[in-house]
Chains A and B, each alone.
Chain A
Amino acid sequence: MKKTQLYILALLIAALGLSAFAYKWKVLKFPVAPNEQTEIWEIQARVEFEPKKGPNKVTLQIPNNPPGYAVINENFLARDYGMSIEPGKGSRAVQWQIRRARGVQALYYRATIYRDQHEVIDAAEPKPVTAKTYEEPFATARAGLLDSVREKSVDSASFAGELVRRLHDSNPSQEVQLLTETFNSQHDTVKLAKDLLADRQIAARIIYGLELVEQDAGNTLTPFLQVWDSDQKTWRTLNAINGVEGFPENFFLWSTAQKPVLLVEDNDDATVEFTAKTSLDDALETAKERLRAKDRNLIAYSLLDLPLDAQEVYKILLLVPIGAFIMLLLRNIVGIKTFGTFMPVLIALAFNWTGVIAGFVLFVVIISLGLLVRFYMERLKLLLVPRLTAVLIVVVLLMAMVSVISHKLDQPVGLNVALFPMIILTMTIERVSVAWEERGAGYAIRQAMGSLIIASLAYLVMREPHLQHLIFVFPELLLVLFAVTLVLGRYSGYRLTELFRFRNLAKDPIAESSDKAAP
């Protein structure tokens, strides 16, 4: 009874529908537009090494929830190897083991990833660093190097940048030569930079990333040195080879473990190469894949997991409420008169098979021919049910005839008429003919046209590909429609046609004056 109760209920239902929609759209990344494409990348790490005699153990750091990207799918290819995945602190590594191996070994890690947000944020504050003491002559070399770098820097980032450049100088200074004497991997050099920065109480960490550029092979990971900027409270990122600040575009963070990316026990010649390939994939498929990888249940309880033919049925069924809603608007707000409550929606569904123009024409043709037969039958004085059956038979025959004729005329559209719901047509013919007899031809034709116009409009709305996609992928939007329907259910304002019907009354100067009661 209370309208407020209805409004609150409607509001709750709408909020429920909208939040489910927002969650699926923003968090689960379901595409809101049909045929949306997502750029996906296929990246591969290829480990190659000469095995030593006896057991071999390979540890490869692999991406762990890389910021800005989502891993849809990953697989590991290593024949005859035992494999385990070691989750570490903020990192992940795959460990391959084999007791005996011969010839050059190649192991692969493959991942399908796609970009799911554009910002890469990490603002975790580091612990304060403490400087260690070193033996001579290393202590002096370190201090000398750092002092000379200091002169050319203004803050921790430029300090680190200068340091990195010095370490990689093609013409290294004596201090650098001494410090890097025993190094044989890039990781060691970068680690040295980090340690050196620690000497000056600058917090730093090493991360490895891949620039996503289409390239067949030979890509390597780029080490980055992140330096804590205590003034701005953020990590500043430097390319650990050339000292340039900032991430490159399409940067994919591979590893944040403070360890070498590849470690093969007792084997320094092992190499790892990276390949990246891009392709465009259907956004919906990508979202589904990603959900499957994340949590099977989320997708298992949605329409997307139904068999394909069932999905096709729901694609149509879910649109029926849309059509019914259009009809609700046109009948209760505009005030168009129709035959039957939901007949226009059923006709609109039938248009699905024929298209709107052909459907309209076919509908008019079959109804008109059916009416002629029905009028003739009126003379035969048949009872109601036999009469309906007779009209139904005639309708089916008419439909067959239209199909055959249109086929002869090379108009394939007529073939689809076979799917035009014949019960609807039969009932329509009966109703039109009764209205015709009782209320006159004008009235009957007006109502029939009203039904057809609403059907066409409903069909056009239901055909909207964006709407179809939205309702199928986000069926919870029907809850919003439900809420609006509840609210409209108590709409008691004038209908548009009433305004026309009563407009003469608005011109009439005599107003209701029941206050001035007659004596």
Chain B
Amino acid sequence: MIGLFEVARRLRAKGLMGIGQRNAEFVLAYNQRRFYPRVDDKLITKTLALKAELPVPELYAVVREEHEIEELHEKIKDREQFVVKPAHGSGGDGILVITGRRGDKYRRSNGSFMNRDEFDHHLSNMLSGLFSLGGQPDHILVEYCVQFDPIFENVSYKGVPDIRIISFLGYPAMAMIRLPTRLSDGKANLHQGAIGVGIDIPTGLTRRGVWGTEIIKEHPDTESSIVGLQIPRWDDLLMIGAKAFELCELGYVGVDIVLDKQLGPLILELNARPGLAIQMANGNGLLNRLRKIQELEQAKQLSKDPAERVAFSKAHFPTL
């Protein structure tokens, strides 16, 4: 066991960023408060993305009032699959993925069934703000349920894997793919037990993964290798990561994208204070890369062209 100071020194040498530094030097310094609603409210994110011609899952319905829950059943009666999520949710809390029906009941992605009462109660909780960031009353989005790309079939358990790109001033700085496990109950959140797998920015190949604090090379449920996978349409993904800056105008932002079988990459949500486990998934510190972009900023060489920014990132941010 090495001493704590030694750990701190080595982490510092690797450019590993801590929560305090992320908040003080990046979130507070680059993310203006007035732009937060653009990422905190998924409805606004969706509208802005569509305006910027970035792909998002199709919106089926919005529920704002208690009585609209009843009408919702009518509106979606022809849809077999859909996702219900709180507009102000965070960390995937409260999201309901419906993959089918049996009579009056809805089938959830984990295979369990939900009757109408349970469904309505869940939606009513969402409206009350149970899952929203500050507990304020919320509204609900009902949208297209992503059919995930089969490339991930062997490395994900039940749920939909998503790709997170941390984008700083429009430059994709680091990326990972989050794979659901049995432990995470099909959710793609690392703190709930999903695996984070680092992606090499220049090539779009996966490098190594982290499960909890453990560094791994195979998926714990399927035992397939999680290393060396080629993320499909990687350049498109990087472009989405780069363009997210124009969309939300937040300097430091995490972009969550899913890969749909037919539709390709779709933006799920943006995050103004993305977590730091991405560094462990990549086995690399984020700070060195962010500093590199800050150097450009100081030299007034920041590019306005997303393609140029992607090119810069591909040239400078490999995960070895």
Query: Could you say which residues of chain B place their CB within 8 Å of the CB of A514?
Result: 288-289, 292, 316-318
Query: Could you say which residues of chain B place their CB within 8 Å of the CB of A383?
Result: 124-125, 128
**Nearest residue in B to A500 (C-beta to C-beta)?**
B213
Query: Could you say which residues of chain B place their CB within 8 Å of the CB of A501?
Result: 213, 280
The residues in B between 287 and 318 inclusive whose CB is less than 8 angstroms from any CB of A are: 288-289, 292, 314-318
**Nearest residue in A to B29 (C-beta to C-beta)?**
A1
The residues in A between 478 and 497 inclusive whose CB is less than 8 angstroms from any CB of B are: 490-496
A271 CB, min distance to chain B CBs, angstroms: 78
The residues in B between 106 and 162 inclusive whose CB is less than 8 angstroms from any CB of A are: 117-118, 120-121, 124-125, 128-131
**Nearest residue in B to A384 (C-beta to C-beta)?**
B128
Q: Is the CB of B316 within 8 A of A495?
A: no
Whether A121 sits at the interface, judged by CB under 8 Å, is: no
**Binding stretch for chain B, among A101-109, A461-469, A502-510:** A502-510
With A492-B24, A499-B4 known as contacts, the answer to whether A504 contacts B214 (CB < 8 A) is: yes
Query: Could you say which residues of chain A place their CB within 8 Å of the CB of B220?
Result: none
**Binding stretch for chain B, among A45-53, A87-95, A174-182, A432-440:** A432-440
Whether B11 sits at the interface, judged by CB under 8 Å, is: yes
Query: Could you say which residues of chain B place their CB within 8 Å of the CB of A438?
Result: 93-94, 131
Q: Give the number of chain A interface residues (Cβ < 8 Å).
A: 37
Q: Is the interface of A mostly helix, strand, loop or mixed?
A: loop
**Nearest residue in B to A509 (C-beta to C-beta)?**
B283
Q: Is the CB of B2 within 8 A of A518?
A: no
Q: How far is the CA of A330 from the CA of B158 in the complex (A)?
A: 38
Q: A518 touches which one: B13, B124, B202 (CB < 8 A)?
A: B202
A391 CB, min distance to chain B CBs, angstroms: 14
Q: How far is the CA of A500 from the CA of B2 in the complex (A)?
A: 11
B199 CB, min distance to chain A CBs, angstroms: 14
Q: How far is the CA of A212 from the CA of B77 in the complex (A)?
A: 100
Whether B16 sits at the interface, judged by CB under 8 Å, is: yes
Q: Is the CB of B14 within 8 A of A332?
A: no
Whether A313 sits at the interface, judged by CB under 8 Å, is: no
Whether A385 sits at the interface, judged by CB under 8 Å, is: yes
Query: Could you say which residues of chain A place their CB within 8 Å of the CB of B314?
Result: 518
Whether B103 sits at the interface, judged by CB under 8 Å, is: no
With A499-B4, A505-B16 known as contacts, the answer to whether A494 contacts B11 (CB < 8 A) is: yes
Query: Could you say which residues of chain B place their CB within 8 Å of the CB of A439?
Result: 191-192
Whether B263 sits at the interface, judged by CB under 8 Å, is: no
Query: Could you say which residues of chain B place their CB within 8 Å of the CB of A4?
Result: none
Q: How far is the CA of A506 from the CA of B316 in the complex (A)?
A: 22
Whether B21 sits at the interface, judged by CB under 8 Å, is: yes
Q: Is the CB of B130 within 8 A of A517?
A: no
With A493-B20, A495-B20, A496-B4 known as contacts, the answer to whether A506 contacts B10 (CB < 8 A) is: yes
Whether A266 sits at the interface, judged by CB under 8 Å, is: no
Name 28 A/B residue pairs within 8 A (Cβ), A-sorted.
A381-B118, A381-B124, A383-B125, A385-B128, A438-B94, A440-B192, A492-B23, A492-B24, A492-B25, A493-B20, A494-B20, A495-B20, A498-B18, A498-B19, A502-B11, A502-B280, A503-B2, A503-B7, A504-B210, A504-B214, A504-B215, A505-B16, A507-B2, A511-B14, A512-B15, A514-B318, A517-B318, A518-B314
Please give 16 more A-B residue pairs, beta carbons under 8 A apart, in addition to A332-B20, A499-B8, A514-B318: A384-B124, A384-B125, A384-B129, A439-B192, A491-B20, A492-B24, A496-B4, A502-B11, A502-B16, A504-B215, A510-B284, A511-B14, A512-B284, A514-B288, A517-B318, A518-B202
Please give me the 10 A-B residue pairs with the lowest Cβ-Cβ distance, nearest first: A384-B128, A492-B21, A381-B121, A506-B10, A494-B18, A492-B24, A518-B318, A492-B20, A506-B7, A512-B288
